[in-house]
Amino acid sequence: MSDFYCEEVLSGRRAVDVVHETGSVLAYHHTRPFFADAHVVVVPKVHVASLLDPAAEPLLPELLAVVRTIAEQVLAAHGAARVLTNLGRYQDSKHLHWHVYAGLEVTGRVDRAPGPSSRRIICQPS
C-alpha cells in the first residue's frame, strides 16, 4: 500500500480515535501503537508525499502547529515526548506524517480499538 493515510484513514475505511483536527490536518491515536504511553499520528488531509515534497510548503505552518500542540499535550501528560517523520526507505506510507510519542516501545502490539470519533475525508492530490 503506497498511501495508507489516504486509502484507509482519510477515506473512512479505517476508523480512528481523533485527538485534534483542523481544516487541513488530522491527528489521531495510532491504530497499532508502537509506544506504551502515547502514540499520535499527525497527517495532512491532502496527499503530500513527504516533508521534501514541494506541495508540503503551504501546509507546514498548520501541520507544525498541530504537531506542537500534540507534543505539548504528550509532554504534559508523560514528562517526555518525541516527534518523528521519516523519509525514503524509512517511510512505509508515502504520505507525509509525523509520529508524536512517549514511553517504551511496545513489543507485542495490539490493535487499538477506535473511539467514536472517526472521520471520512476525501484525500485529494495537493
Looking at residue 68, what is its pLDDT?
A: 98
What is the tens place of the pLDDT at every residue in 57-82? Answer: 999 999 999 999 999 999 999 999 99
Q: What is the pLDDT of residues 80-101, one digit of tens each?
A: 999 999 999 998 889 999 999 9
* Structural domain includes residue 18: yes
Stronger pLDDT, 125 or 43, i.e. the higher one: 43
Rounded (5°) CA angle 40-30-87: 75
The CATH number given to whatever domain includes residue 62 is: 3.30.428.10
Quick one: which of 42, 41, 98, 101 has its CA closest to 74?
101
What domain count does the chain have?
1
Is 110 a member of any domain? no
Q: Is residue 29 situated within a structural domain? A: yes
Coil/strand/helix, residue 91: coil
pTM reported for the whole predicted model:
0.85
Asked whether residue 123 is assigned to any structural domain, the reply reads no
Instruction: List the domain range (segments joined by +) for residue 87.
Output: 4-102
